[in-house]
Structure 1
């Protein structure tokens, strides 16, 4: 099924308005109010849940290898997790993963 130019623009506009309203619901309605303590505790876990969900597919099924498992990427992910758990330092963990990935890709 082919969509006409009008249908494509209508979809773009509806999605734009929808995402604006989602953001406004947090910033416009709740922006000047204090949130309950239990909500603030739950929001603290959002980055911890979202970042692995974004990175995991890039490690397990990397597009660079056509979706095949890649030992350098797995080793870099393991190094990142290990350094993060041991040091509790995000920047050191990212640096360890980046150096591991670059080094293994260079050697391989």
Structure 2
């Protein structure tokens, strides 16, 4: 068990670090135009972060105790295919969700 002083030091330092990262973009750079090369790289941030958040939920789902299962894998593949071919994020998410619910109803 961690003592209260160490815990509060960690909480305060993490809060200051988080505030500092946000302040750099909003406080220091917020009123100036960003260079085109930086805007080009920032455009891919969501595309890079979202798969990193979703992949563990597909490969090691908590609902199955970490075991890979067919409904989640099929739903992930349908979502990827829909996103790639249709180029519509909302439609890809809806098709993936419908596939997951349908797969869970069929496979249990």
**Larger RCO, structures 1/2 (Cα 8 Å, 6+ apart):** 2
**Structure 2 unaligned residues grouped into runs of 5+:** none
Structure 1 segments of 4 or more deviating over 4 A? Answer: none
**Structure 1 unaligned residues grouped into runs of 5+:** none
Correspondence for 1:80: 79
For residues 18 and 39 of structure 1, the distance between their equivalents in structure 2, rounded to whole angstroms, comes to 22
Q: Secondary structure in 1 aligned to 2:90?
A: helix
Alpha-carbon RMSD across the aligned residues, in angstroms, is 0.8
Correspondence for 1:24: 23
For residues 93 and 4 of structure 1, the distance between their equivalents in structure 2, rounded to whole angstroms, comes to 47
TM-score, normalisation: structure 2? 0.95
Correspondence for 2:66: 67
TM-score, normalisation: structure 1? 0.95
For residues 17 and 87 of structure 2, the distance between their equivalents in structure 1, rounded to whole angstroms, comes to 38
Correspondence for 2:4: 5
Correspondence for 2:44: 45
For residues 21 and 81 of structure 1, the distance between their equivalents in structure 2, rounded to whole angstroms, comes to 35
Aligned residues: 107
Map 1:92-107 to 2 at 5 A.
92-107=91-106
